[in-house]
Chains A and B, each alone.
Chain A
Amino acid sequence: MDPINVIRSRTVVMPSSNIDTDQIIPARFLTTTTREGLGAALFADWRYDAAGQPKADFVLNRPEARGCQILVAGRNIGCGSSREHAPWALLDYGFRAVISTEIADIFRSNSLKNGLLPVVVDAATHGWLVANPGAEVEVDLPATALRLPDGRSAQFPVEAFARYCLMNGVDELGYLLGQADAIAAYERRAG
């Protein structure tokens, strides 16, 4: 996993609330046994028509969406299924951060573990982002701050250990494996 520091990009805005992980990647794509290549299936049913052609009116199919690394979504993005294929698909497509006023628990946890930064901001900041699609913004993980083009910034919360892992490009498994003695002691105690 590459370390995350500052992500600077234009935004893509999908203002709908409750975008569930079935929309991010429909279940029929989950018979894969690897995590690669899922970007092609990202938002498949919103993005393609029955013949598999891109729908011109879908936001990701517009020319200005190309190269954008930050997705601004409505409240409660990532609700529903625990499928980690959702952040895998977003990352494979090219997104590196998701901004909303509220992000569903399992999706947020899965995103943190893969280097997709979940950014929860206040309603006023979110409202500005929704009203200004394509704005060039800066997500600063070390400072836990989102900076808007007009110079304003908003703080966002990131769990301390997850932030450490993201900034150093490591996962939590090394830390957990390092707890082997404590785990063995717990197992002896608990029986």
Chain B
Amino acid sequence: MTAKTLFEKVWERHVVVPETPDTPAVLYIDLHLTHEVTSPQAFSVLRSRGLKVRRPDRTLVTMDHSTPTDTAQIFGGKPIALESAAKQIRQLEQNCAEFGLDLIGLQDDRRGIVHIIGPELGATQPGKTIVCGDSHTSTHGAFGALAFGIGTTEVGYVLATQCLLQRKPRTFAIEVSNRLAPGVSAKDLVLAIIGRIGVNGGTGHVIEYRGSAIEALSMDERMTVCNMSIEAGARAGMVAPDETTFAYLRGRPRAPQGEAWERAVADWHALRTDDGAAFDQVVQFDAAAIEPMVTYGTNPGMVAPISGCVPERPGDAVFARALEYMGLTPGASLRDQPVQVVFVGSCTNARLSDLESAARVLAGRKVAPGVRMLVVPGSQQIKHEAEARGLAKVFTDAGAEWRESGCSMCLGMNGDTVPQGQYCVSTSNRNFEGRQGIGARTLLASPATAAATAVRGRITDPREFLN
């Protein structure tokens, strides 16, 4: 039998109709995650064509992108400040009622960022195909699922047929040996990977992250790595499921229970790349050589070790324009760059372990004068847990704002934005121009780096706070 990669095994299990030269494969989708921003026009298409949602039981709907993070606007009866956001939220409520979909609504205790609650509820499982009208759907690949972002037209296709037309992508192995050093996180690892292979390095490919450093990562950390696969241009990122995966999922509400659980785990054990299976591309990394990383430019590939400098690229006009936007000069040291805003949150880094990592640095310390720090948990469950464990108190005692869950300042569409020209160290995934607000200057980093930077008010290596 031909040796197969993890991706190929998951792909083959979901082919409804094989591809031909004239037609792509019809691929079955096990789980469709849906949110308020990329679904309204898809529901309109269903309505205009008189179609129903084929599998409401395979459709998980919530709201996260445009929702407020201000407690009063969610629970206190205060109107949602952005009228267009309020309208979009009401539209999702109406669409779910009309098409018979369960909605994890604004005040639901299970609500949160869609890529955080899928795993948290146990809906994300090894071997599944998972799609969402959001590019960070790649997050779910951490469980050995094939998970990728789609546009709104395809959201409509999945609602109507539970299927997509797809050409088979190519495969890309990223092998990471050794272990990450203390104070170096999964975020630093994935930023280093993107820095090396580039923001288009993964185009047309599904990445499988492999090797001892990946196996040693927790599920939260694997999700951080897979989350940013799209920032390397990849369709998806995957990690083979193992005991770490099974331990995370066991007992979660939507995970299989009892005998079904035993059968599922036995099946999931087969979801590994066979010895001798070939990838279209292979790149190797040494985890031990990676330092805390910080971006300096306007895409996630413009990144350097925290001890480094802004590089020089004479004659590169695009690079020069990016630095002009950022207000940085070639050769400038990244360390000690002043910041005005610190954001800890997003589907990349708002899970409990991320908040713990930031709180370890902040405990007993204060956010520097003149710095605004916003901490936005990834879900309401994480919020409650962080409050129960005293993390929320660490943040508020330090002078940070502690909010309700959502995408928030990652993309600023709910009104949580960074002012024009200000620098923000952010644990999110994109440092594009204007991403966090018009003229905002984003520096992507890990939660520990963000917290250390908040204390000093300038870019700070978190390892200075390790002891």
User: Shortest CB–CB separation between residue A37 and chain B, in angstroms?
Assistant: 12
User: Shortest CB–CB separation between residue B2 and chain A, in angstroms?
Assistant: 22
- Closest-by-CB residue of A relative to B319 is A17
User: Shortest CB–CB separation between residue B170 and chain A, in angstroms?
Assistant: 11
Assess the B435–A27 pair: CB atoms within 8 A.
yes
Say if the beta carbon of A79 comes within 8 Å of chain B.
yes
Residue among B23, B24, B200 making CB contact with A18, cutoff 8 Å: B200
User: Shortest CB–CB separation between residue B82 and chain A, in angstroms?
Assistant: 7
A-B interface pairs (CB < 8 A), number: 170
Complex CA–CA separation, A110 to B26 (angstroms): 17
A residues in contact with B434, CB < 8 Å: 22-23, 26, 45
13 CB contacts below 8 A, A to B, read A30-B66, A80-B231, A80-B432, A159-B24, A164-B22, A171-B153, A176-B26, A176-B160, A176-B164, A176-B165, A187-B28, A190-B13, A190-B28
Complex CA–CA separation, A175 to B454 (angstroms): 54
B residues in contact with A80, CB < 8 Å: 135, 230-231, 430, 432
Say if the beta carbon of B419 comes within 8 Å of chain A.
no
Complex CA–CA separation, A30 to B163 (angstroms): 26
Residues of A within 8 A of B (CB): 15-18, 20, 22-23, 26-28, 30-35, 45, 50, 74-76, 79-84, 102, 104-106, 109-110, 113-114, 159-161, 164, 171-173, 175-177, 179-180, 182-183, 186-187, 190
- Closest-by-CB residue of A relative to B150 is A82
Assess the B299–A20 pair: CB atoms within 8 A.
yes
B residues in contact with A74, CB < 8 Å: 318
Say if the beta carbon of B61 comes within 8 Å of chain A.
no
- Closest-by-CB residue of A relative to B84 is A31
Interface size in chain B (residues, C-beta < 8 A): 66
The answer to whether residues A182 and B26 also contact, given A18-B199, A20-B299, A31-B413 and a CB cut-off of 8 A, is yes
The answer to whether residues A173 and B88 also contact, given A27-B412, A80-B135 and a CB cut-off of 8 A, is no
User: Shortest CB–CB separation between residue B416 and chain A, in angstroms?
Assistant: 11
Assess the B161–A183 pair: CB atoms within 8 A.
yes
Complex CA–CA separation, A27 to B37 (angstroms): 10
Assess the A159–B167 pair: CB atoms within 8 A.
yes
Residues of B132-171 contacting chain A, CB below 8 A: 133-135, 149-154, 156-157, 160-165, 167
